[in-house]
Structure 1
């Protein structure tokens, strides 16, 4: 895969809700092998921008391109099939299925076998082993037979990551992956993101408020403020830039992101 060409890009991307412009004319490109953190104050448009890229919202104007092709008018399922994986807000758990069954369905879907729960899993040993692998790497093996609805908040998030990994996307989109997690649970998720990044060929987008997390993971930071893209570049340079300090009400980003 050629890192010179963007995998995902937005061009003049905007969305208006009544008189409010939530994302305003954002131009940005994302390349394979990079992790980009998207930061900004509450209400800056970060999650809305994610929703526009993943297909959950149609833009008022502008385009989204995936591998150079215009996907602006494709919905989230079509974009998922083309390689976009969205954690936590796009992924839906099946609450009345077990942890293992949730991941099995994702593996089955990735293998092109659809979502038929009556499929003879005994004849697809390699797929079962794959599902078990994703439970292992997300530290959910011991909970494989529990219903998804019975999991703690942190374990539900880990299950969503297991499902996302099982879909094997080219683009991973994480929206505040550590929010609501206990101190003990956070390292598991961060280690998983580090592992995905280490593969070197995946594109990772991360919305995150915790700057210690951003510093440990990001190759690049983009900053949204009132729907505008106001900064884009090396993490240290972006965090030190006057426009970013002003966006955070004149105070240090490290304390308020």
Structure 2
């Protein structure tokens, strides 16, 4: 039970070493905090993320996971603290400017152009990434390079055969795949997934997990994943950080973090204290 979980402990539990070789840190939050009235939803969270590593962000309901995501991607503005990306302070940048800088975000609810075709959705993202603007004298159908790039991405996410279908008619699982395709088209340095399997049927889940697994093969990217399903976390994560009551309470290798007493209590609701 969540209300039986003890209050936050001083500091957080750190497991093992996270040295990333010669790779410089590219995304970092420093004392990141947001308050809604008297409620502190994210409380002084300092954490860095590295290329070639998928970090799962877990915690009980209300722990601050999605709020932390929203702070990083720019949907929310921090009350205090800072966000550094490639050595640049992006704390004051809007969400669109952070996207242009290389932060790609997928939401719990799909964020598509529902009345456009699957191909048109991806083609618009390719066009935005390439910096090509609308040209009255050159219709987009003449830009075979953009269409070819969009089609190649659709093939990668197994939607090539559905390119001419209106996005709103896709199944929920295929819409999530299309959202991944849009992120890929923007060529971000950071992929951010907020519960990517939420609302999916059992048959649809492996397809999206396979897509994220393929993205992991590019060691130049950072992947962040908010997820409450521990089987998903175990199958994908290289590292887990745990939030509880808005604070960072654990950080390390999946097996070590999941087995730790603080996570057993705070996340799994298992009391590890001996009976009186």
Change (3 A) 1:150 1:125: same
Change (3 A) 1:3 1:222: farther
**Structure 1 residue runs without a partner (length 5+):** 253-257
In the TM superposition, 1:78-89 aligns within 5 A as 78-88=97-107
TM-score computed with the length of structure 1 as normaliser: 0.92
Q: Counterpart of 1:157?
A: 176
Q: What secondary structure sits across from 1:182 in the alignment?
A: coil
Separation (CA, whole Å) in 2 of partners of 1:82 and 1:171? 10
Separation (CA, whole Å) in 2 of partners of 1:95 and 1:9? 34
Q: Counterpart of 2:63?
A: 44
Change (3 A) 1:11 1:59: same
Q: Counterpart of 1:19?
A: 38
Q: What secondary structure sits across from 2:56 in the alignment?
A: strand
User: Which residue, out of 26, 50, 53, partners 1:7?
Assistant: 26
Change (3 A) 1:18 1:116: farther
Q: Say whether residues 1:108 and 2:127 are aligned partners.
A: yes
User: Which residue, out of 165, 168, 173, partners 2:187?
Assistant: 168
TM-score computed with the length of structure 2 as normaliser: 0.86
Q: What secondary structure sits across from 1:172 in the alignment?
A: strand
134-143 vs 61-70, which moves further: 134-143
CA contact 1:108–1:115 (8 Å) conserved in 2: no
Q: Say whether residues 1:243 and 2:262 are aligned partners.
A: yes
- Displacement, 1:181? 1.2
- Displacement, 1:134? 1.4
In the TM superposition, 1:121-136 aligns within 5 A as 121-136=140-155
Note the alpha carbon deviations across 1:54-95, whole angstroms, 9 max, x for none: 011000110011111110000110000010000126973111
User: Which residue, out of 168, 187, 198, partners 2:217?
Assistant: 198
Separation (CA, whole Å) in 2 of partners of 1:129 and 1:137? 13
Aligned residues: 252
Change (3 A) 1:58 1:119: farther
Aligned-CA RMSD value? 2.0
CA contact 1:3–1:31 (8 Å) conserved in 2: no
CA contact 1:105–1:115 (8 Å) conserved in 2: no
Q: What secondary structure sits across from 2:92 in the alignment?
A: coil
Q: Say whether residues 1:208 and 2:227 are aligned partners.
A: yes
CA contact 1:105–1:117 (8 Å) conserved in 2: no
Higher relative contact order (CA 8 A, sep 6+): 2
Q: Structure 1 stretches (4+) deviating beyond 6 angstroms? A: 115-118
Which protein has the larger Cα radius of gyration, Structure 1 or Structure 2? 2
Q: Say whether residues 1:73 and 2:100 are aligned partners.
A: no
91-100 vs 62-71, which moves further: 91-100
Separation (CA, whole Å) in 2 of partners of 1:114 and 1:204? 29
